[in-house]
Amino acid sequence: MDFARRIIEKLNTHFWRYGFHIVEERTDFLKLKSNKITIVFSHDWRGNENNFFFQNIEINNDALKSFFHSDLKLSQLPIDQFVINLGLFFDNEGKSLMMGDEKKLSEIETFNLVRARKYTNNLIRSQVLPEADRAWHSKDFKNFILLLDKLDIGDLAQSYKLKYEIAKKKV
């Protein structure tokens, strides 16, 4: 049985309970909508990855742990276990979202923005810090300052903060 059919077969009662109807169904993709919410399930056969999106927000193991304070897992599971865990999620931690609770929807959107911002900041840091190190070693203090100004200085290691202060005095 294909991915979408397994989800429908096992979780149909959850979908009906919360007023969802199928909008799109393919072998490896299922999209449902209620009057307030869209949820999407997909499966990547190449990487054997299952995905669950709630209002375009990926609900993965990190989101389950960080936002919902749940020990459930959705990532890196066989399809049948993924479906079982979805059912548990819909009955417990995800119930208010499935019901369209505006406060919870706003909270998860905020959580997702913070998560995206952290990811972006980490990406920028991984690009900027090696450049800043090269500037420091070549005594290009002006460029060192310009590079670190792209980051939140307060989040940097103490050694970078000290170098930043030294560089400002040398420029």
pLDDT in tens, 67-110: 999 999 998 899 999 999 999 999 999 999 999 999 999 999 99
Integer Cα distance of 79 and 74 in angstroms: 9
Q: Which of 76, 82, 85 is nearest to 3 (CA)?
A: 82
Residue recorded with tokens 């929807």: 105
Burial-class residue 7 by CB neighbours within 10 Å (0-12, 13-18, 19+): buried
| Average pLDDT score, the chain | 93
Confidence (pTM): 0.76
Helices within the chain (DSSP H only): 3-17, 61-66, 79-91, 95-98, 102-137, 141-148, 158-170
Quick: pLDDT tens for 33-72. 999 899 999 999 888 899 999 999 999 999 999 999 999 9
| 123-142 mean pLDDT | 94
